[in-house]
Structure 1
Amino acid sequence: MSDRVVLLGTKGGPALRAGGAMPTASLLEMDGRRVVVDCAIGVTKGLVEAGMDLRALDLIFITHLHSDHVLELGPLIHTAWTTGLKTPVTVYGPPGIDAYWAGFLASMAYDNAIRVADEGRVPLGDLVQVVVYGEGVVLDGPLRVSALRVPHPPVVDAFALRFEGARVVTFSGDTAYFPPLAEFARGSDVLVHEALLPAGVEAIIAKTGLGDKLRNHLFASHTKAVDVGRIAQAAGVGRLVLNHLVPADDAEITAADWLAEVAQTFAGDAAVGTDGMEILL
C-alpha cells in the first residue's frame, strides 16, 4: 500500500449539481493504516473508486457535524459491513458523534437484526467503537493524531487534524482564517486546506436563493484563498492542496483563478483539489 492522500470529494457545502464535484471526504493511507477523513454523501463510492476494499475500513475521523462532513458516515460503515467487514472500526468525532451513531443504528435496527439472524453477521454495533475527541492528542502511537479547535461559526466543535507517521499530513477542516493553524501545520509534507474564492460567492447566492444569511456565513466561517496561502507560507509546508472549494462548480472559475490568489502569499507548491486526486506521500 503506497502512502497517499486521495481527495474523494472536494466541494464545499451539501448541494449536488449535475457534473459537479462531490462534498467533502478524503482517504489517508499511511504507515499501514487507512484513515477516512469526513464522510459526505458519495464517500463510499469514492473509496471504492480509489481502489480501497471496504472490508479494510479501519479509522474514521469527522472534523465537525455539518451534513457535508458526516451525512454518509453510517451508510459507509453499514455498506462495508454488508460487503464483509469483520474487523473493528473506530470512529473519532466531536461531541454529538455518539448520538449520531446511536441514531443511525436505531434507524437501521430492522435490517441489522435480519442480517445478523439470516446471514450470520457479527452485530454491526459490536464492530464499531465511537470516540468523542476534543483539542489535543487524539491518538498516540506509530500514527499520531492531534486536533486543533478552529473557528467555524456557529459550529463550536470544529477541528483541524494533524496526522504524523512516516510523513505529516494536516487537514484544516472547515475554518475561518486562523493564524494559529500555521503553527499546528508546521512542517507538514501536505496541508489540505479549505478555500473560498470571493469572486464566486454571488453566484452561489443566486443559485441557492438564500441571500444575506448565507453570504455572511460563507465569509465568517471560511478562509479566502489568499489567506490559505498565508497559512501555508507561515507553516512551511511541502505542498498545499486546496479542498472544500467554495465555489466548486462555477464554470467561469478555473484552477488558474484559485492559484493566482494563493500565489500572492505562498511561494511553494500548490494544487487545486479535484475529486479522485491522488497525492503520493
Structure 2
Amino acid sequence: MLRVIFLGTGGALPTRNRNPSAILINREGELIFFDCGEGTQRQMMRARTGMMSLTSVFITHFHADHILGLPGLIQTMSFQGRTKPLVIYGPAKVKEFACILSNIGYYNLKFEIRAVEVHPGDIIKRDGYSVKILKTEHSVPSVGYALVEDSRPGKFNRDRAIELGVPVGPLFSKLQNGIPVEVEGKVISPDEVIGPSRSGRTIVYSGDTRPSDDVRRISKGADLLIHEATLADEKLDWAIESMHTTAGEAAKLAAEAEVKKLILTHISSRYTEDPSVIYNDAKKHFKNVTVAEDLMEIEVPYSK
C-alpha cells in the first residue's frame, strides 16, 4: 500500500471547501505527514485515517498554514494514550518549534516530541524507503521532500528454474531469497532465475516554492509529483513576488521531469468556487494532471 490522502489543499486562507496544507501518506500502515495546517485532526477523523500509527511529520516551512494543526493533533494523541515518540523534521527553527509544542498550554504530554533539523541534500533512511530533502525557493527558510522506496527484487522466472532442473518446492524459496541451491551436483545461482531489480515508487512534494531546479531534478521519472499551484498563470507577477508557483509553471516542471502524474495543491482562496482555471493552465503543458480536493485519496501503483 502507498496511499496519499489530501487533508488540506488550500492556500494561506482556509475556505469552506479547502483546509490549509496537510498531506498524509499511508505506506504499509505507517502514517507520515507532510505539513499539518489548521484543522488537520478533524480532517483525519473525516477521512477515518486514525492517528496512533503516525510516526513522523515533515514540515516544509514555518508559515502558519503549514503548522497550526500540530498543537491540537499532539494533544489529542496524548489524551488517547500515545506513548511512542513523534519525530518532527523541518528546516531551521524546528527545534524551537518542537519545544513550544511540548510546553504550550497546561496539558502534560505522555510522549516525547523529537525534532530533527534538515537541510537540502540530507537523506533520512527508513525501513524500506528514504526521504530526501530538496532545496526550494520560498520567502522563508523552506525545503521539499521526496519519499523514495528501496528497489524491489527482480521477478522469479519459474519456467527457467524448472528448465534448469530445480524441482517445485522449497528450493524455489531459497532462490527467491538470494540463496544458491544445488540440484544433482549442479549449483544454480539466484541470478540465473531472477530478473533485474525493480525500482520502488517515488512521491515528491514541493511545499511552497518558486519552480525549483532541485525539485525538477529529484522528480525525474517520479510516480507522483505533488506541487503547489497557488495562482493561475495570469497572476505570474504576484507568484514571483510572493515566491509561489503558477499552475502552468508547475505543469512545465512536471513535463520536463517526465513524471507519471502531477497533482496540484495549495490553491489560492480566490479559486474556491471554480478551480478550472488552474486545471486549464496546467493542462496546456502536462496531460496527466489533477487539481487536488480535500479528502481526495489516491493509490500510487508500481510501474509496470
TM superposition score normalised by structure 2: 0.76
CA RMSD, Structure 1 to Structure 2 (Å): 2.1
| Residues 218-245 of structure 1, C-alpha deviations (whole Å, 9 max, x = no match) | 6441111111111101111111000001
1:260 to 2:280 alignment: yes
Of residues 64, 76, 79, the one that matches 2:61 is 64
Contact 1:152 1:222 in 2 (8 A): yes
Match of 2:228 in 1: 194
Distance 1:233 1:217, change over 3 A: closer
Match of 2:194 in 1: none
Give the total of aligned pairs. Answer: 249
CA displacement at 1:91 relative to structure 2: 1.0
**Where do 1:121-270 residues align within 5 Å?**
123-124=109-110, 126-141=111-126, 142-153=128-139, 155=140, 157-165=141-149, 166-198=200-232, 216=238, 219-247=241-269, 249-251=271-273, 253-255=274-276, 257-266=277-286, 268-270=287-289
- 1:37 is paired with a residue whose SS is strand
CA displacement at 1:3 relative to structure 2: 1.8
Match of 1:279 in 2: 298
CA distance in 1, matches of 2:69, 2:123: 22
CA displacement at 1:174 relative to structure 2: 0.3
- 1:135 is paired with a residue whose SS is coil
Match of 1:206 in 2: none
Contact 1:97 1:130 in 2 (8 A): yes
After TM superposition, the structure 1 stretch with the greater mean CA deviation from structure 2, 41-50 or 230-239, is: 41-50
| Residues 132-154 of structure 1, C-alpha deviations (whole Å, 9 max, x = no match) | 1111234113220011121112x
What amino acid is aligned across from residue 111 of structure 1 in structure 2? Y
Please identify the structure whose Cα radius of gyration is greater.
2
Unaligned ranges ≥5, structure 2: 150-199
Identity within the alignment, %:
27
| Residues 107-157 of structure 1, C-alpha deviations (whole Å, 9 max, x = no match) | 22x321xxxxxxxxxx43x4321111111234113220011121112x1x2
CA displacement at 1:49 relative to structure 2: 2.1
Unaligned ranges ≥5, structure 1: 113-122, 203-214
TM superposition score normalised by structure 1: 0.82
- 1:47 is paired with a residue whose SS is helix
Higher share of residues assigned helix: 1
Contact 1:138 1:146 in 2 (8 A): yes
Match of 1:118 in 2: none
CA displacement at 1:59 relative to structure 2: 1.0
- 1:238 is paired with a residue whose SS is coil
Q: Larger relative contact order (C-alpha < 8 A, sep ≥ 6)? A: 1
1:5 to 2:4 alignment: yes
CA distance in 1, matches of 2:284, 2:123: 34
CA distance in 2, matches of 1:145, 1:129: 17
- 2:107 is paired with a residue whose SS is helix
